[in-house]
Amino acid sequence: MSAERHVYIGTDGGATTSKVGGVWHDGTVVSTRLLQRPTGSALGPQAVVAGWVASITEYLTEHGLDWDQVEGVGLAIPGPFQRYGVFDKSPNLPAAFAGFDVHTAYTSALAERAGRAVPLVVGNDGNMAGVAEAQHVRGGTNATVMVLAPGSGLGCAYVDRHGLPMDGDTLAGMEAAHMPAPLHLLGARPLACGCGRTWGCVEVYTTLSGLPTLLADKLETNPDHELARSPLDPKQRALALRGLAQKGDTLALELFDFQARALGLHVASLAMALDTEFVVIGGGLMDPESTSQTFRDRYLQIIRDTALPYLWPAQRARMSIVPAALGDLSQAIGAALVALYYSRSRSSSPAN
Ligand SMILES: [Zn+2]
C-alpha cells in the first residue's frame, strides 16, 4: 500500500475516559472529532486493553479506514511507571493495574486484531500532549518547545528538535511540577505536595492542588469576602475562584496573579536548562470556554513579565509564550504523532 494511505493511531488512555485520534503519514490530523469511550478501569487491565482495540476499530470504520492501513499506534497513559510500559501504583487506577505491563499486553492485542505486528510506543500523557502542541506551534521549523499545563496538577513537557518528548529513563523525565519553587521570590511558605515532597513543589503554587490552602490564607486577612462566609468546602471554594476572577473579583485575581508569577519563575528556571524558543501554556485557565480573553491575556502577560528578567538576552528576544491550541485533542494526536516519528526513524535507519 502506498504511504499516502498509512495512518498512525493514538490512544489516550485516561483514568476515566479513553480517546482515539489519528494522523496521516505526513502528520496531518485525520479528524478533529475524537472518539471517546469510558476506560472501564474497574473491569481490570485486560478489559481496558480490549476496549482500546475495539475503539480503534470503531474509529477506523467511522473514517472509512481499515486495520491494513495502521502503521503504528501510540499510547498516552498517566504515570507513575515502574519501568517502560509498566504501571506503578496510582491514586487514579484500581490496584490491579500496579505492575501491569500495558506495553506487552496492548502489543499482543493489536497484533491479534490486525493479523500482523503493529509497532506500539507508550508515553506519559502529558508528554504526548506536548508533542501535539509543539507540532502546532513550531510548524515547519525544528524549534524546541516546553509545555506547561496547570490544572488539577501541573502537566509539563519538553519537546526536542525531532518533535519527541523528553521521557527520561523511567518515563519520569520532565516531571517539572515537582521541582521546588523559589519561595523567597514568591514570599510563600513551603507547602506539602500530593507527591509527598515538602520542599515547595511548583505544582502547589500554580494549580488547583494548592489553591484551597492559598485561598484559606487569603481569607484570613479578608474575612468579609463572600467565600469566607460560603457553605462550600475548601476545594469547592477554590473551584469558584475561576468564575469570580472573570467578574473582576480582586481577591480571586490576586490569587491567579500569584499563580502566574509562580509559573513565570518556573518558565525562567526551566529555560536555564532547556533554552526553548516556545513556551506553550495550557490548562483550565487557558480554556476559551471557561475564561475571558482579558483574563487569559493578563495571566500570560504576568508569566512573561516575571520570566523575562531572569532570561539570557538572546532568550529574552526570542522566546514566545503562547496559549495551547488543541485542548482535548492533544494527547491522542500527540500519541499518534510519536508513533509516526518512530516509524520514520525506523525507516531511515540503515540497519532496517
Ligand atoms: Zn510534588
Topology of domain 3-128+329-348 in CATH is: Nucleotidyltransferase; domain 5 (3.30.420)
CA of 93 relative to ligand 1 center, distance in Å? 19
**CA pair distance 234, 232, nearest whole angstrom:** 7
Domain ranges within the chain, ordered by starting residue:
3-128+329-348, 137-326
Coil, helix or strand for 306? helix
State residue 349's pLDDT score.
56
CA of 195 relative to ligand 1 center, distance in Å? 4
Give how far Cα 47 sits from Cα of 85, 110, 149, 182, 295, Å: 17, 13, 30, 44, 43
pLDDT in tens, the chain (352 residues): 677 899 999 999 988 899 999 999 999 999 988 899 999 999 999 999 999 999 999 999 999 999 999 999 999 998 888 888 999 988 778 999 999 999 999 999 999 999 999 999 999 888 999 999 999 999 989 999 999 999 988 999 999 999 999 988 877 889 999 999 999 999 999 999 999 999 999 999 999 999 999 999 999 999 999 999 999 999 999 999 999 999 999 999 999 999 999 999 999 999 999 999 999 999 989 999 899 999 999 999 999 999 999 999 999 999 999 999 998 899 999 999 999 999 988 877 554 3
State residue 347's pLDDT score.
77
Asked if the domains at 3-128+329-348 and 137-326 fall in one CATH topology, the answer is: yes
SS3 content of the chain, % helix, strand, coil (to 5): 50, 20, 35
Identify the burial level of 145 via C-beta atoms within 10 angstroms of its C-beta, where 0-12 means exposed, 13-18 middle and 19 or more buried: buried
CA of 58 relative to ligand 1 center, distance in Å? 38
CA of 247 relative to ligand 1 center, distance in Å? 31
Question: For 137-326, CATH number?
Answer: 3.30.420.40
Residues 24, 349, 129, 254, CA torsion sign:
negative
C-alpha cell at 329: 485533542
State residue 352's pLDDT score.
36
C-alpha cell at 71: 502503521
The crossing angle, in degrees rounded to 10, of helices 234-246 and 211-220 is 80
